[in-house]
Structure 1
């Protein structure tokens, strides 16, 4: 006979089972609902066509990867990659029995004369250092002139051991850093705002993304953050999304205007969106996004809007005063428009990044990230009151920082002054527009991407007879160091003060390079090889990644 306890247990068992089934059903419905919501949001942001394209690319990649695992194909790929790695190392790492390598500390310290002589010998040993002073390069060196060099070196010498981590020890450096931020805030129309200095544009962008993530978590309770950027935005936003586990929606740009598609941006915004991004100007083709319209969207949805002015830096704020307040008319439509507002005068803009080490002519490793107010900036800080070493607080990624760079940036800004930056902007923008107009008027095989208003001109091919990457390689043979682009294939030059005196040489060389690429294409240059490989197949980007990894490895091969 079953006991009374067994009877009671069997009596309630169906109820318990029903409750358990209900819980399982609710959990299943929750999982289905949350994943369906994610799929819906993704489709809204990416669109059905783009989503299907992504799926197709993924399937194609898997098929090709399977084929590459076949012994013969795998061996061929590895052989070619090994050759490429050797080629990369041969260009970066000095070879030969006469190469002197310093792989361990000398037993005794060397004299200053020996050090200078050894540096000179190493320069000669490498033998292929680019003579950047001749101006034949895109960006890379933003040189303020020999007199500026002396100013910066003097600042370095005075503050070479300083560290802003200890403002009580180096109060002058703290003061200079605060003044750099204050000057930039006024330049971007927000004297009552807040900001910090950083080590460069990438850190400024990464810090802005981190700040908006923390703000959205505290104020809006967002734990699965998403951000929306133009496809033309700097790769630092992708890096930040990767570091901070933020879902990234990359929105296409209009093929003619090169501005982000506002309808797609609007469609991509959802309850997890923490910020939008616009560029003034972007790196690839130098165009400016519609910041006022992005600001309206940001304000409407109570989300952040970061404006990346790292490249625009000390050019874009002076456009109107320099007489370049209207877009150029490289499309030839005859309807010039005013360059829109881009700074804190736009409601909805919450942060801006500006590189002082570009057109501000400060030493490399110097940038500023600005916020509308100090309340937002506090989310950038890292604070640890419980560390055994004492209370730890830092404004950005770094703890100790070189005060000499801050002193150099402060000195450069004081030396240039507003009039100096205005004159610099005038000459550089005039140089860029001259190149853009020359391409439009006298090089029919090429066209300018959009109507870039400032210092960058990107050009693509309108002729099937001319591979623009081949043109880039031909320019390399003439001593120019330009940037290759993708989607579409293009080449750009970021004009600097070094470009201004040789702008006519650039235009003449470009005309010759186009004709040479048309008549005698080699298909062997680095732009054709690397960027062509990236678009050659479904696994092209993976192959480029391997080449890029080999390049980074070679940088640290002594």
Structure 2
């Protein structure tokens, strides 16, 4: 594990700026601080402005970011928990939820009243959804030993939810060719204590969309909830459908879908820190309530897990949705889907590479001829940043607006051809393996210990200051 502290070049600024090892006695001039921050931001923007970074910067428009920053700044100091002083939070949150519900065809719902929450991100939405299912099932079905059933490809946040909330987690493998879950296999894992099943639209590894219509039928037949994780695809797939792409229904048009998560901070092009969690029936949302009635500080209550929140995040998410509009989202989706198709064609130019699943706005590939992480190693030297996959080892690229810029697909063609040639020549282990999940096959019982050691050293690096010289 030697050198792990330098894995992410944790202290690249130590020779450029002063290092704070404690709270300074005298504050620095604000203009000086802002100049320093502008320099850092400009340097770090170079990592994604080329369009060679998977996901991460979904918008990539500095003018849009400046607009969101101004919207955020106007309300950043306000607390969304205190609506008597900050009624703007009610406008922003209510309209964000209304727009998201409209996008997910909540107008098709009959017999219940749809509702939602704005959370801190995709993990926050998933955690809150699972907590709501747990408490609602306890109150309405008397379930005290709840379980949830998820495809292997569904996000690790569901594993985190099970860990935090005492849920039994049942994981169903996916078809290795299609990367989709088999509804029959899901059905076999449901019992009288199942509170919810999960499907992805699309999943993180491959961007593929589980058979949500079949899962909807299954949820109705077995009387369980169905959460659709649209954190990644929720704000792009609907516009792909409007454009005529083969996007199957995954939203509230399917009667068995009881909740949906969709991140405004991904393809909604908002700032990091907001996501929408939508419910078919507000009775399920109401299960998210938390309150303490006998505290000396007064009766405390919050609508979900979070307490104080910056109204600025609500303002910026609202501003992004309103400024972009359906036409804007459609236009961006058209460019992203077309760019993804063009990059997929580049991958197909190489018989040594094999696509995994059916690409959407995300494409994933592996190789049966060589260690695919050698491709990542080589592409990294050309400024590309892929996400690593495992089981099988692979790479994916979530196409975002920066990839739609002129010249990016051509660079991808040139650099990938070079990387494939490089990978064919390699006989040793790839450098990227340890980072991208490539745990050696012989590690079994010690994997947890290994990962904990890696995490500890990464956290120590991320939360440290450089050693004095």
TM over 0.5: yes
Check if 1:444 corresponds to 2:378: no
In the alignment, structure 2 segments of 5+ residues that lack a partner are 108-112
Mapped to 2, the partners of 1:367 and 1:534 lie a distance apart of: 36
Check if 1:360 corresponds to 2:264: no
Aligned alpha-carbon RMSD (Å): 2.0
Cα distance, 1:85 vs structure 2? 3.3
Cα distance, 1:230 vs structure 2? 0.3
Mapped to 2, the partners of 1:249 and 1:367 lie a distance apart of: 25
Q: Look up the match of 2:377.
A: 473
Q: Look up the match of 2:129.
A: 208
Check if 1:515 corresponds to 2:418: no
Q: Look up the match of 2:95.
A: 179
Cα distance, 1:511 vs structure 2? 2.1
Q: Look up the match of 1:491.
A: 395
Greater Cα radius of gyration, structure 1 or 2: 1
Mapped to 1, the partners of 2:45 and 2:451 lie a distance apart of: 25
SS at match of 2:204: coil
Q: Look up the match of 1:394.
A: 302
Check if 1:431 corresponds to 2:339: yes
Aligned with residue 432 of structure 2, among 505, 523, 526: 526
> How do 1:82-97 and structure 2 match up within 5 A?
83-88=2-7, 91-94=9-12
Mapped to 2, the partners of 1:422 and 1:93 lie a distance apart of: 40
Mapped to 1, the partners of 2:267 and 2:282 lie a distance apart of: 26
Note closer, same or farther for the CA distance 1:477–1:361 as it changes in structure 2 (3 Å cut).
same
Asked whether the equivalents of residues 530 and 544 of structure 1 are also in contact (C-alpha less than 8 Å), the reply is no
- TM value normalised by structure 2: 0.93
Mapped to 2, the partners of 1:130 and 1:550 lie a distance apart of: 27
Q: Look up the match of 1:162.
A: 78
Q: Which has the higher contact order (CA 8 A, sep 6+)?
A: 2
Check if 1:456 corresponds to 2:323: no
Check if 1:268 corresponds to 2:215: no
Mapped to 2, the partners of 1:518 and 1:113 lie a distance apart of: 52
Q: Look up the match of 1:240.
A: 161
1:347-399, Cα deviation, whole Å (9 max, x unpaired)? 11110000001111111111000000111100112122222211211122211
Count matched residues: 457
Aligned with residue 134 of structure 1, among 40, 43, 50: 50
Mapped to 2, the partners of 1:521 and 1:357 lie a distance apart of: 41
Q: Look up the match of 1:113.
A: 31
Aligned with residue 296 of structure 1, among 184, 197, 217: 217
Q: Look up the match of 1:322.
A: 243
Note closer, same or farther for the CA distance 1:416–1:552 as it changes in structure 2 (3 Å cut).
same
Q: Greater helix share, 1 or 2? A: 1
Aligned with residue 372 of structure 1, among 280, 299, 305: 280
Mapped to 1, the partners of 2:32 and 2:392 lie a distance apart of: 50
Note closer, same or farther for the CA distance 1:456–1:121 as it changes in structure 2 (3 Å cut).
closer
SS at match of 1:266: helix
Mapped to 2, the partners of 1:135 and 1:366 lie a distance apart of: 24
- TM value normalised by structure 1: 0.78
Note closer, same or farther for the CA distance 1:204–1:98 as it changes in structure 2 (3 Å cut).
closer
Mapped to 2, the partners of 1:261 and 1:224 lie a distance apart of: 25
Cα distance, 1:316 vs structure 2? 0.7
Mapped to 1, the partners of 2:53 and 2:435 lie a distance apart of: 20
